[in-house]
Structure 1
Amino acid sequence: MTRSTAFRRAAIVLASAAAFGMLSSGPASAAPVADFAKGAAGLQALATEVSPAATAAVDALLGASVFIPKDVLEVGLTTPQDFMYPSPTLGCGVADKPATVTLASAQGGPNLFPQITANQLRFQAIPAYVAIPQSSDLSVAWINLTTFQGGIVTLDDKLPILGTPLLSKIVDTGKGTVLATMFGTVGYADAVTCTVVPTVGTFTV
């Protein structure tokens, strides 16, 4: 099956799900306070150049809402929107079980940390398997029902320095209602592979 054929089939499945009311949507936030967002982004970039410890410290600082002005909290932070259901995940589990689940979500912008701009979604996944991912082809097929744009992307963000998969990706989806499905595999040490059964969701950008 070609990549374009896979995308067309995913789009048909997602559109059908929406037509039958299978999916639910969550709200996205308004525009951020520009000055604070610019300063926070600059501080994060500087910390990245210094060291992982500096990055962790700055992330903790920006994540401490007590230090962030109330107006920024109201308009500069968004909440991840969950996929419709946790994805059954085969081939790995807790206490030698053969299966577990993967929690998947998408977060819209504008958002301060992680830094997501307007008209973007950050897709992310967390398998319920206690180990550090070593490899991944976890992917998302998406289609914007407002603009009819779409694509298939690999969640190939990596942890700086270590280079291990973060199982996330920021995508320029454009503004509108986005239907998406997540699927693929995540590899761990000792030849353990988690196969993520597709889950679906709808997201407001």
Structure 2
Amino acid sequence: MMLYSHPMAPNALRTLVFLVEKGIEVPIEPVDLMAAETRTPAFLKKNSLGEIPVLELDDGTLIAESVAICRYFEAAHPEPSLMGATPVESAQVEMWSRRMEQQILGPIAQVGLHTHEFFAEKVEQVPAYAETQVRLMAKKWAWLDAELSDGRTFVCNDRFSIADITGMAALHICDFFGHPVPEGVPNVKRWETAMRARPSWKR
């Protein structure tokens, strides 16, 4: 198999961290985003949306979308569980993964989508909208801080999961666009420190 990826892309990073946490080694074909390699005819045959990551299996099957790729590897390699080992755990991890994507990753991703020249051909950029999302992030961090006020390290059941990995992708975007986690949210800061200390982050 082959994973087409690049750690600069948040969703690609999400899959790469997942694989490191699982201890799974997969051949990786780097895709140069800034050189527009995702927009070449050859790559568009693998993903018509021109996005990474894309997993190509030995039989030619193509799987795009980071969470879909993670689900494939979770099913193929159940341990350690990163998406829930029981029906209840799976539902709770899914709940928190969606929350981290919609409430944390989503708004900060919109900042990049509406300000970086790389995305100019993908969306009609509205810089003023990006400014609203920067302001919104303060409320989102405050929400997460309240959720983590019970002292837990990880967002779901105090066990590291794909929900935390989604949050790590958000931190990656924060770093790239210069919007760090603000002061005044000590519980989020505690979580952030734990995420950045993981070997998968350093990889």
TM over 0.5: no
Select the structure of larger CA radius of gyration: 1
Q: Which has the higher helix share?
A: 2
Q: TM-score, normalised by structure 2?
A: 0.21
